[in-house]
């Protein structure tokens, strides 16, 4: 994923001087198909969701990078819904290999087949209100 | 570091509730005022004596103002921190500070909701909240709010510690058995482990019977300085410890889905009260979902992390068990009007006064209360005691 991603403006990581907030930057990159997360230049820890200061050390020296997209299901639930309303669907928490957690869903298999510990890969899809990061099983073709 | 000089400095002198279950024909303000009036009268005070107010609302962001207006009081202490369901437990410590500093003399902590009979549907409220209090990194995945967040925590606890759905069901069944001893509880018909397991699944692993009720209800407590409480009408219930902790808002930002901030609030409340879990006679924790009770029993030190499932087996927290937990029937079977925190305070006070009838815990002297808000987001622990514990 992200192979045709354009260079990412970082404003040298200084969001106090950035053109937009972290949220809009994330969203506008996502709308172009690029899934980006942040990393602190000081403590080097990854950050998600997008922040203006590092929640690990308080620094505002934050940069963007494209994660590998690889992750592991940390927890999962099936939201039960009547078939006529669209049927059951999955909601999961995914731990990215880079060390951050996000809410998402695992697609491409039955919601009850999604299991904690499952290795998954990110993909950017169209959601109801803009692009969305979802995951598919790593073993899927 | 907790100020141990505040241990027992203030006492709850009156409690009251109104509109439990269905408050058809009343607004949430009206039942709040009824509960407030009962709490103040029970204490042997009048509304003229109230010069401190603590309240919060799910919907109204300036809620203290209409409450003050309706009561016609001119308080010198106003506390309206909104941390979800734990708020009213969280209001204790600032109220104690205000009483001790002389800023005020009698604080009314109060809440009311008519979410059950309100004309506003839950869908409408959900829609409004998504606009006013957006969570753009969770909402697009359509978790049931707040249910799926607790389901994710339950699933992780089960995976990590071998906790089973039967353990969750034990919590619901224990709550129901307590409710059967409480004439004020809404759900009093028999409930078995099998009933919970076979109930309609909502967000795995939680069924509808793993979830709290949706009711109306209002509650109020009156807090005064300990010296004054002694001369009032009711047996004083002293606040020995109080602490509030928030580590995150969203479930996706929770550091470890099996550990809540109650570990912090509990530790500090115990430190202030100078007691430990082994000293507690009765436990009232916010059971929005069955997983809550398990997590709080662990985080508050009643058993080790991961062992709450085994701890509650065989009716251990039900009437006659090893530890009385949620003796009014809890949010699961007694009452749950949107935010439940005030009701665990009220039940703890009544247990310590010894006025709980069939469900009375014998010689209860020390009670622990733990309020929860958001999606395991805010935790507020209070330790209450009788005069013998001072």
Q: What is the pLDDT of residues B136-189, one digit of tens each?
A: 999 999 999 999 999 999 999 999 999 999 999 999 999 999 999 999 999 999
Q: In what order do the strands lie in the sheet with A46-47?
A: A46-47, A37-40, A62-65
Between B136, B203, B252, which is nearest A77 by CB?
A: B203
Residues of chain B with Cβ-Cβ distance to A75 below 8 Å are 152-153, 155-156, 159, 257
Give yes or no for B123 touching A (CB within 8 A).
no
Confidence label for B37 from pLDDT (cuts 50, 70 and 90)? very high
For residue A18, the model assigns a pLDDT of: 65
Q: Average of pLDDT values for B8-33?
A: 97
The pLDDT mean for chain B works out to 97
Residues of chain B with Cβ-Cβ distance to A101 below 8 Å are 252-253
Residues 197-216 of B with CB under 8 A from A: 200-205
Higher pLDDT among residues B61 and B99, named by residue: B99
For residue B237, the model assigns a pLDDT of: 98
- Cα(B351)–Cα(B365) distance, integer angstroms: 8
Nearest CA in chain A to B142: A91
Angle between helices B262-273 and B290-299 (to 10 degrees): 50
Residues 302-331 of B with CB under 8 A from A: none
pTM of this prediction?
Answer: 0.95
d(CA A46, nearest CA chain B) in Å? 13
Give yes or no for B153 touching A (CB within 8 A).
yes
B238 neighbors B386 (Cβ within 8 angstroms): yes
Nearest CA in chain B to A111: B204
d(CA B134, nearest CA chain A) in Å? 12
d(CA B98, nearest CA chain A) in Å? 32
Nearest CA in chain A to B250: A103
B272 neighbors B2 (Cβ within 8 angstroms): yes
For residue B128, the model assigns a pLDDT of: 87
Q: What is the pLDDT of residues B281-326, one digit of tens each?
A: 999 999 999 999 999 999 999 999 999 999 999 999 999 999 999 9
What are the residue ranges of CATH 3.40.47.10 in chain B? 4-118+216-240, 144-210+242-389
Indicate whether B2 pLDDT > 90. no
Under-70 pLDDT residues of chain A? 1-18, 140-141
Q: What is the pLDDT of residues B27-36, one digit of tens each?
A: 999 999 999 9
- Inter-chain residue contact B203 with A129, CB threshold 8 Å: no
Nearest CA in chain A to B135: A49
d(CA A7, nearest CA chain B) in Å? 24
Indicate whether B16 pLDDT > 80. yes
Interface test with A, best of B152, B206, B246, B251 (most A CBs within 10 A): B152
* Range B144-210+242-389 classified under CATH 3.10.200.10: no
Residues of chain B with Cβ-Cβ distance to A92 below 8 Å are 152
Q: What is the pLDDT of residues B334-383, one digit of tens each?
A: 999 999 999 999 999 999 999 999 999 999 999 999 999 999 999 999 99
- Return the minimum-mean-pLDDT range out of A92-106, B111-125, B207-221, B250-264: B111-125
Higher pLDDT among residues B352 and B3, named by residue: B352
Q: What is the pLDDT of residues A10-38, one digit of tens each?
A: 544 444 456 899 999 999 999 999 999 99
B341 neighbors B376 (Cβ within 8 angstroms): no
Confidence label for B246 from pLDDT (cuts 50, 70 and 90)? very high
* Range B4-118+216-240 classified under CATH 3.40.47.10: yes
Residues 239-258 of B with CB under 8 A from A: 250-253, 257
Indicate whether B241 pLDDT > 60. yes
- A70-137, CATH topology level: OB fold (Dihydrolipoamide Acetyltransferase, E2P) (2.40.50)
- Inter-chain residue contact B141 with A74, CB threshold 8 Å: no
Between B141, B153, B202, which is nearest A105 by CB?
A: B141
Tell me the backbone φ, ψ of residue B53, rounded to 5 degrees. -135, 140
- Inter-chain residue contact B253 with A49, CB threshold 8 Å: yes
Tell me the domain boundaries of chain A.
Answer: 11-65, 70-137
Give yes or no for A104 touching B (CB within 8 A).
yes
B65: Cβ contacts below 8 Å, ≥ 6 apart? none
Give yes or no for A129 touching B (CB within 8 A).
yes
For residue B126, the model assigns a pLDDT of: 80
A67 neighbors A98 (Cβ within 8 angstroms): yes
d(CA A102, nearest CA chain B) in Å? 6
For residue B1, the model assigns a pLDDT of: 62
- Inter-chain residue contact A75 with B201, CB threshold 8 Å: no
Indicate whether B222 pLDDT > 80. yes
For residue A2, the model assigns a pLDDT of: 44
Confidence label for B4 from pLDDT (cuts 50, 70 and 90)? confident
Give yes or no for B155 touching A (CB within 8 A).
yes
For residue A140, the model assigns a pLDDT of: 64
Structure token digits, residue B47: 């509304």
B174: Cβ contacts below 8 Å, ≥ 6 apart? B312, B315, B316, B317, B318, B321, B325, B326
> B168-207 burial, b for 16+ CB within 10 Å, e for fewer?
bbbbbbbbbbbbbbbeebbbbeebeeebbbebebbbbbbb
Q: Average of pLDDT values for B116-125?
A: 83
Between B137, B153, B205, which is nearest A102 by CB?
A: B137
Grouping H, G, I as helix, E, B as strand and the rest as coil, residue B205 is coil
Give yes or no for A87 touching B (CB within 8 A).
no
Under DSSP, the state recorded for A43 is T
């Amino acid at each position: 994923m992200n192979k045709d991603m354009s260079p990412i403006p970082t404003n040298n990581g200084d969001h106090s001087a950035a053109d937009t907030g972290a949220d809009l930057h994330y969203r506008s990159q996502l709308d172009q198909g690029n899934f980006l997360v942040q990393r602190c230049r000081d403590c080097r820890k990854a950050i998600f969701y997008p922040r203006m200061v590092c929640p690990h050390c308080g620094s505002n020296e934050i940069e963007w990078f494209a994660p590998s997209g690889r992750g592991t299901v940390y927890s999962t639930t099936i939201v039960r819904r009547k078939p006529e309303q669209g049927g059951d669907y999955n909601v999961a928490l995914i731990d990215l290999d880079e060390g951050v957690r996000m809410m998402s869903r695992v697609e491409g298999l039955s919601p009850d087949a999604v299991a904690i510990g499952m290795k998954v890969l990110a993909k950017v899809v169209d959601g109801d209100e803009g692009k969305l990061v979802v995951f598919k099983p790593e073993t899927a073709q | 570091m907790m100020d141990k000089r505040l241990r027992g400095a203030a006492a709850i002198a009156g409690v009251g509730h109104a509109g439990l279950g269905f408050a058809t024909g009343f607004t949430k303000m009206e039942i709040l005022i009824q509960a407030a009036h009962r709490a103040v009268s029970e204490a042997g005070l009048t509304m003229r004596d109230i010069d401190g107010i603590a309240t919060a609302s799910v919907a109204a962001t300036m809620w203290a103002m209409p409450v003050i207006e309706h009561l016609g009081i001119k308080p010198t202490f106003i506390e309206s921190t909104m941390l979800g369901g734990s708020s009213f437990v969280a209001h204790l410590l600032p109220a104690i500070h205000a009483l001790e500093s002389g800023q005020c003399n009698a604080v009314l902590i109060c809440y009311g909701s008519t979410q059950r009979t309100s004309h506003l549907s839950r869908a409408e409220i959900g829609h409004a909240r998504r606009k006013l209090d957006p969570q753009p990194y969770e909402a697009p995945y359509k978790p049931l709010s707040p249910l799926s967040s607790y389901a994710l925590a339950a699933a992780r606890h089960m995976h990590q510690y071998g906790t089973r759905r039967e353990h969750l069901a034990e919590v619901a069944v224990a709550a129901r058995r307590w409710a059967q001893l409480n004439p004020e509880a809404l759900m009093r018909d028999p409930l078995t482990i099998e009933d919970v397991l076979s109930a309609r699944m909502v967000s795995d692993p939680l069924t509808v019977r793993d979830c709290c009720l949706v009711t109306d209800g209002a509650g109020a407590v009156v807090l005064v300085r300990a010296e004054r409480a002694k001369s009032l009408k009711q047996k004083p219930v002293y606040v020995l410890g109080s602490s509030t902790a928030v580590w995150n808002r969203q479930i996706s930002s929770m550091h470890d889905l099996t550990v809540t901030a109650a570990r912090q609030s509990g530790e500090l409340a115990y430190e202030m009260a100078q007691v430990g879990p082994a000293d507690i006679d009765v436990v009232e924790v916010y059971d929005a979902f069955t997983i809550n009770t398990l997590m709080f029993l662990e985080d508050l030190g009643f058993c080790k992390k991961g062992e709450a499932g085994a701890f509650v087996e065989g009716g251990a927290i039900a009437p006659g068990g090893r530890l009385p937990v949620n003796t009014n029937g809890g949010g699961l079977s007694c009452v749950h009007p949107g935010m439940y925190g005030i009701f665990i305070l009220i039940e703890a006070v009544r247990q310590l006064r010894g006025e709980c009838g069939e469900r009375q815990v014998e010689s209860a002297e020390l009670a622990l209360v733990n309020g929860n808000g958001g999606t395991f987001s805010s935790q507020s622990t209070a330790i209450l005691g009788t005069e013998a514990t001072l």
